[in-house]
Structure 1
Amino acid sequence: MQEALQAHLIDLETELLRADARRLDALLDEAFEEIGASGRTFGKADVLARLPAEAAPRFLPEAFTARMLAEGLAQLCYRLTIIRPGEAPTHSLRSSLWRRRGVEWRMVFHQGTPTQPHTGSAIS
């Protein structure tokens, strides 16, 4: 994968962690599906209704890796620590699929898998 594309997808991914409803709508594909770290599944409408209303925790993404799966389809993986006031930090491995539509990239799938605290910089 080209470094410029990888950097662009990382920028989009980190933007989604803090996006308002209008930007979420622009970045999520109409066919978007998520399997959250809780095991629950969400569609685009669920995310648009839920995320902007939630109190924003502190997100600490790290150790991004990216690869092309097919023409116009990329996978981005990373570790995420979420810090919420008054709670213990939670840790997960994240995987997102980004699909190119024209010149725009939109997230079509996302999954979070709970993990123990991260101890290294690489995903293994």
Structure 2
Amino acid sequence: MTGENERAVQAAVDAEFRLLDPEVRASPSRVSELLDPEFTEFGASGRRWDVKSILAVTSGGTVSPESPVQVSELSGVVLAPDVVHLTYFADNQGRRAWRSSLWRRTETGWRMYFHQATPVASEVE
């Protein structure tokens, strides 16, 4: 990976971890700074989300400060200039899922364009 690609992947990783931070998740304005206006998510519940629906539930406390999301097997790759794909395994208080995010660089920084979570039964990985 070139230096520029490494920096792009690291920027996306940093932004992903900000979105997983309970303090950020509790602030609709901070979350909106990280989501692309065209953001779409297919959640582990099977629900489809957009920016408006995510911001409506943001302050609901989906990530506990006492039990932050545990991330493992994190991997990132540059798909095109200014587009990074991240994949990782997440455990949020026993709710386990493989996660996939597309990040794109905009004039205002890196923003999540797409996210998908595929739930994993606790006995399977």
Whether contact under 8 Å (1:62, 1:79) holds in the other structure is yes
Greater per-residue helix proportion: 2
How many angstroms apart in 2 are the aligned matches of 1:118 and 1:106? 33
Pairing partner for 2:17 from 14, 20, 23: 14
* TM-score, length-scaled by structure 2: 0.82
Alpha-carbon distance change, 34 to 4 in structure 1, aligned in 2, over 3 angstroms: same
How far residue 100 of structure 1 moved from its aligned partner, in angstroms, is 1.0
The alignment covers a number of residue pairs equal to 115
Give 5+ residue unaligned stretches, structure 1. 84-88
* TM-score, length-scaled by structure 1: 0.83
Residue 104 (structure 1) aligned with residue 109 (structure 2): yes
RMSD, matched Cα = 2.0
Moved over 3 A (4+): 116-120
Give 5+ residue unaligned stretches, structure 2. none
Alpha-carbon distance change, 41 to 99 in structure 1, aligned in 2, over 3 angstroms: same
Pairing partner for 2:74 from 64, 67, 71: 64
- Paired-residue identity, %: 33
